[in-house]
Amino acid sequence: IGYLIFTLRISSDAKIVVLDIPKEVAENLLRKYYLGQDLKISSEAVVLRRESELIAAIQNTPYSIGAFSLAYAISHKLPVNHLSLNGVEPSLENIKNNKYPMVIPIGITIKKTPAKSVKEFVNYAMSQAGKEELAKHNFVVFTQKK
């Protein structure tokens, strides 16, 4: 239900400021789709502690690039560019249609015999009302049954 995107504020002759957070999943996606497996992250990259710090920094740092949740960017109408991948825009529609591949699934894992409150939460999250609530916050909901 969640995924990351690149956002960028740049001009053709500016030095790019790389903003990052210590998150292995994001780095693996960046390497797979943009940077290549062997490309090293610059020692000049600004590493922030939290995604919220990265979001604030990318909005206030000209000529910067970073990655964070598209759902957050859309729901908060952030003034950032969403970079396309192989000509495919990271839109909710392209995510739903499996056209934009840089997706991080977010799932729920529970014990075989969960507490009543956990079971109620999962039932709500998987219900039509739960899916509609997630969609209100610009998450794309995919249901995978095991």
Q: What is the pTM of this model?
A: 0.64
- The pLDDT of residue 145: 53
Lowest-confidence pick of 18-27, 41-50, 63-72, 79-88: 18-27
**Which homologous superfamily does the CATH classification assign to the domain defined by 4-96?**
Periplasmic binding protein-like II (3.40.190.10)
**Unique residue bearing structure tokens 């797979």:** 32
Taking the CA atoms of the chain, what radius of gyration do you get in angstroms? 17
Q: What is the spatial distance between Cα 51 and Cα 66, in angstroms, rounded to a whole number?
A: 10
Q: How far is CA 78 from CA 14, 49, 56, 71, 75, in A?
A: 22, 20, 10, 10, 8
Which tokens in the block code for residue 131? Answer: 């899916």
| 65: Cβ contacts below 8 Å, ≥ 6 apart | 6, 7, 8, 9, 10, 16, 17, 18, 19, 58
Instruction: Check whether 120 has a pLDDT greater than 90.
Output: yes
Confidence of residue 51 (pLDDT cuts 50, 70, 90): confident
Max CA distance (Å), the chain? 58
Q: What is the spatial distance between Cα 124 and Cα 83, in angstroms, rounded to a whole number?
A: 34
- The pLDDT of residue 3: 45
